[in-house]
Amino acid sequence: MEQFVAVIVLTTALFFITIIILRLCRSHHTCKYKLPPGPHPWPVIGNLNLIGPLSHHSIHELSQRYGPLMSLRFGSTPVVVGSSVDMARFFLKEKDLAFIDRPRTAAGRYTTYNYCDMVWAPYGTYWHQGRKLWQVELLNSRRLASLEHVRREELCGMLKDLHDVHGTDVVLREHLYMLNVNVISRMVLGKKYVLEDDRITGGSATTSPEEFRWMVDKIFFLNGVLNIGDMIPWLGWLDLQGYVKRMKRIAKMFDRFLEHVLVEHAQRRRREGEAFVAKDMVDVLLELADDPNLVVPIKRDGIKGYTLELIGGATDTSAVTIEWAMSELLRNPEVLAKATEELDRVIGRERLVTEGDILNLPYLQAIVKETMRLHPVTPLLAPRLSRLDVSIGGYDIPAGTLVFVNVWAIGRDPKVWESPKEFRPERFVGSSVDVKGQDYELLPFGSGRRMCPGIGLGLKMVQLTLANLLHAFVWRLPDGMVAEELSMEEKFGLSVSRMILLKAVAEPKLPAHLYGGP
């Protein structure tokens, strides 16, 4: 028995020694490249020991020492980080095609139906086709305009809910979350599937708003983690952090929900026959799946992958951005006063704000931009993977390198922004700088071919919701709390939200009939 144990120990030790030697040999192979400056990596783990719970903070601190183009190593994976306007322009515009691919991660495999979405889909025919379908069929300006009534009705419903509890402390994100769930459910799925009575309508599938929120939160968290199995593939089978197990669990929960949705939609198509007319985005996807002219057929997993991305992306990010904006406004009462003055002057006190009013509210637009500068929902843009060997400034970036752009760091760069840590919407009043991917000092939605395809819907939701929250209510912090005590700590995930949910008190200030709901 003792000899057997000794053999096992010796074999295990030899295995790990062999792996380390192989990794070292591979690192020596990269010596033919002149890599950007960066900290010396440890065997096996690389520089993972330097990355804290808020990775964009850790990477920013390292870039302060090593520069705006920095080389790291996450396990056996070479990494390059760009933390300046010039580096963002280089990666996302000048060499966009060289850095357009995505790494094959466990999150992409297990939570997006084996890379059947847009975020994690590898560069190729499927991604090209999907990008075109999203732009032309799913999120085009005509379709968004035709569904404006949905956004307006659900917004009125949220304002009514806030009116009904006025004068009490409210957890704002809960209301924002349900607003976005209801809007996206009606736009994408055709009706509200997550209801306040804790049931999904029809069938045997059930969930509650709390469970659905938990599912969305977890899928965003798991898509943003540094999974050891991705960075050190030969350790992947161990699932040391338990992330893969959690990914599989969440995937099963969402799959049950999505199967229920698709079955209902298929039943309606059969029931209506030739009279069938697409009413929502799932209907459109099902019709596209039947199109024989598609270069790559959209299978059932593809429909689910796209649908899940539409639901998750639009539900979480808009709510998080609005919560950050309200937090900054409550910490800066002079900015809040200017915003409400503009709304009173332009809109008046006899109606709510409409989407058509936003162009006439430059200070409100400036508040949104300033929020996205200080609190980009995705501070490290989703990682890219270099397809080719590329050189810049005398340094080499080999093919197969993971590339991050730290837009959080760019938003705090004193070379770009005056007093970058202060919340000053005035910096955008009269400025041509926008969030649409052409100004590399402000990239909350990314840029280039991999830019977020939901930017149009995201901006509409954030601007319209924030405008009506400020126009319909007088806001203050709970009794006994002063602005200086409001925590602005961040919670890690693919989207970075507040660690502590914002609580505030809303007092109605418009005529009572405007809060009547849909």
Give me the pLDDT at residue 207, please: 67
Q: In this structure, what token pair is assigned to residue 285?
A: 């996807």
Residue 127, pLDDT score: 96
Q: Which range scores top for mean pLDDT: 8-17, 20-29, 115-124, 217-226?
A: 115-124
Percent share of the chain, pLDDT over 70: 91
| Predicted local confidence at residue 503, as pLDDT | 97
313 falls within a domain: yes
CA 213, CA 231: separation in Å to the nearest integer?
29
CA gap 468, 378 in Å, rounded? 25
Residues 284-300 have pLDDT tens digits of 999 999 999 999 999 99
Is the pLDDT at 21 greater than 70? The verdict is no
- Residue 349's nearest CA partner among 460, 464, 470 is 470
Percent of the chain with pLDDT over 90: 81
The answer to the question of whether 116 is labelled as a binding residue is no
Number of domains in the chain: 1
At residue 516 the predicted structure's pLDDT band, cuts being 50, 70 and 90, is confident
Q: Residue 389 is part of which domain span?
A: 33-515
The DSSP code sequence of 341-393 is HHHHHHT-SSS---GGGGGG-HHHHHHHHHHHHHS-SSSBPPPEE--S-EEET
Residue 499 has pLDDT above 80, yes or no: yes
- Tell me what pLDDT residue 199 has: 43
235: amino acid identity, one letter: L
Q: How confident is the model at residue 24 (pLDDT cuts 50, 70, 90)?
A: low
Residue 368's domain is classified under what CATH number?
1.10.630.10
Let me know if residue 7 belongs to a domain.
no
14 has pLDDT over 80: no
**Is 25 a member of any domain?**
no
Residue 19 has pLDDT above 60, yes or no: no
pTM summary value: 0.91
Q: Which residues make Cβ contacts (< 8 Å) with residue 444, sequence separation at least 6?
A: 321, 372, 373, 376, 377, 378, 407, 435
> Once rounded to an integer, what is the mean pLDDT over residues 19-44?
73
404: its two tokens? 């991050």
Average per-residue pLDDT in the chain?
90
For residue range 303-337, what is the model confidence (pLDDT) as tens digits?
999 999 998 887 889 999 999 999 999 999 999 99
Domain assignment of residue 471, yes or no: yes
- Residue 198 pLDDT greater than 70, yes or no: no
Q: What is the pairing mode between strands 402-405 and 77-82?
A: parallel
171 part of a folded domain = yes
pLDDT tens track for 381-418: 999 999 999 999 999 999 999 999 999 999 999 999 99
Q: How many residues does the chain have?
A: 518
Determine, yes or no, domain membership for 301. yes
Q: Is the pLDDT of residue 149 over 60?
A: yes
134, 453 in Cβ contact below 8 A?
A: yes
pLDDT digits (tens, 9 = 90+) for 416-426: 999 999 999 99
Any domain includes 67: yes
Query: Does 462 reside within a domain?
Result: yes
What pLDDT is attached to residue 204?
Answer: 40
Structure tokens that stand for 352 in this block? 């709510």
The first and second tokens of residue 438, run together, are 């052409």
